[in-house]
Amino acid sequence: MKKTYDVFSLGNALVDIEIEVTPEELSRLAIDKGVMTLVDLERHDYLLGELHGKAHHRASGGSAANSIFALAQFGGYGYHCCKVAKDEAGDFYASDLKQIGVATNIAELEGNGGITGKCLVMITPDADRTMNTYLGISSEQLPDDLNLDALIDSQYLYIEGYLVTSETNHKTALAAKRVADENGVKVAYTLSDPNMVRFFKPQIEQILDGGVELLFANEEEALEFTKQNSIELAISHLKAHAKKVVVTLGAKGALYFDGEVLHKIEPFVVDAIDTNGAGDMFAGAFLYGVTQGYSSQACGKLASFASSYLVTQFGPRLKGEAVKVIQDFNRNLAS
């Protein structure tokens, strides 16, 4: 029986504010480079004030949201489960996802108070991204907030790793995985960030307990999680937690174990200016390919092309002519 949704994603709802900075500015403001750090609202507003006047862009973000947005740009059908407040940022977030055609539970939770989550995404000249995140109400997702009908009516449940930072969100992720397992919905999980692995490994292991269908990680996350010194050994250990494993290697491409064979996914060589959202784009494009029945090679090629193209522009989303480019690439790949 055909499902309504290709992917049901579960993640933090954050309005991203992207700012160009120098390594010296990060050092002056005592910001750890290249990772995601949680901050309170006072710290967020302080940093935004200190960086006032810098060129910046705004988008509805969060790791899973970026991936489901990418899936929709390819023509997939996605449902994003998240939590925003009834404020200007929350309205912006909802309208952004609605415009691309992603269904959400936002309208069902319209009475929310509080403050919508925000994320300062700081881009340095080496194209690296550093995030300081105020979770706001996004950290308060409850199991009762899940739209179980939509979850059960999806091919895949996709859970972002950042949910482990909140006890409430962690419980909701566990509840969603349990419902998915009980109803034959495949589960995909992403480790999301090296700091999630360093500081929340027990919570991640709880979500991976019993295994998942598909696990995404980058090279640093995979090595940190498995405590191995080679990516091949790390993938061998990750097989204990997932039937299929994807490890992205930045400019070197990616590796994909499809349950039987380890595939090398070749990179597309580009001049990167902003790596923000590259992993999310890779996962979204890969999940699109998987849910459309693409071969292992085609899934990898599509994800590699889309993520490589993304890093040639600022922001976690493809815009304008770039959307047509990846859609044309996908059509040629599928034909």
Count of alpha carbons within 13 angstroms of residue 105, beta-carbon side:
24
Residue 170 in this model has a pLDDT that exceeds 90: yes
Q: What is the mean pLDDT of residues 147-154?
A: 98
Instruction: Indicate the DSSP class of residue 52.
Output: T
Domains and CATH numbers, the chain: 5-13+63-114+141-334 (3.40.1190.20)
Q: Which pLDDT does position 213 carry in this prediction?
A: 98
Q: Which pLDDT does position 315 carry in this prediction?
A: 77
More confident residue, 320 or 202: 202
Q: Which pLDDT does position 81 carry in this prediction?
A: 96
Q: What is the mean pLDDT of residues 312-324?
A: 83
Q: What is the mean pLDDT of residues 303-320?
A: 87
Q: What is the mean pLDDT of residues 5-14?
A: 97
Q: How far apart are CA 325 and CA 18, in angstroms?
A: 24
What confidence category does residue 58 fall into, taking pLDDT thresholds of 50, 70 and 90?
Answer: confident
Q: What is the mean pLDDT of residues 120-141?
A: 93
More confident residue, 288 or 55: 288
Q: What are phi and psi of 55, to 5 degrees?
A: -65, 130
What share of the chain has pLDDT > 90, as a percent? 81
Instruction: Indicate the DSSP class of residue 164.
Output: G
Q: How far apart are CA 86 and CA 72, in angstroms?
A: 25
Q: Which pLDDT does position 186 carry in this prediction?
A: 98
Q: Which pLDDT does position 101 carry in this prediction?
A: 94
Residue 178 in this model has a pLDDT that exceeds 90: yes
Q: Which pLDDT does position 320 carry in this prediction?
A: 81
pLDDT digits (tens, 9 = 90+) for 223-273: 999 999 999 999 999 999 999 999 999 889 999 999 999 999 999 988 888
* Whole-structure pTM value: 0.93
Residue 52 in this model has a pLDDT that exceeds 80: no
Residue 191 in this model has a pLDDT that exceeds 80: yes
Euclidean distance between the first and the last CA atom of the chain, given in angstroms as a whole number: 25
What confidence category does residue 9 fall into, taking pLDDT thresholds of 50, 70 and 90?
Answer: very high
Residue 109 in this model has a pLDDT that exceeds 80: no
Q: Is 24 helix (H, G, I), strand (E, B) or coil?
A: helix
Q: How far apart are CA 25 and CA 331, in angstroms?
A: 43
Within 113-161, where are the H helices? 148-152
Residue 56 in this model has a pLDDT that exceeds 80: no
Q: Are 327 and 290 in contact (CB under 8 A)?
A: no
Q: What is the mean pLDDT of residues 45-72?
A: 88
Q: Which pLDDT does position 77 carry in this prediction?
A: 98
Mean pLDDT of the chain: 93
Q: What is the mean pLDDT of residues 116-135?
A: 93
Residue 53 in this model has a pLDDT that exceeds 90: no
Q: Are 292 and 331 in contact (CB under 8 A)?
A: no
Q: Which pLDDT does position 317 carry in this prediction?
A: 83
Residue 110 in this model has a pLDDT that exceeds 80: no
Residue 313 in this model has a pLDDT that exceeds 90: no
Q: Which pLDDT does position 228 carry in this prediction?
A: 96
Q: Is 217 helix (H, G, I), strand (E, B) or coil?
A: strand
Q: Which pLDDT does position 274 carry in this prediction?
A: 81
Q: Which pLDDT does position 321 carry in this prediction?
A: 86
Specify the DSSP element, H or E, that contains 247.
strand 242-248
Q: What is the mean pLDDT of residues 149-169?
A: 97
Q: Is 186 helix (H, G, I), strand (E, B) or coil?
A: strand
Specify the DSSP element, H or E, that contains 300.
helix 296-310
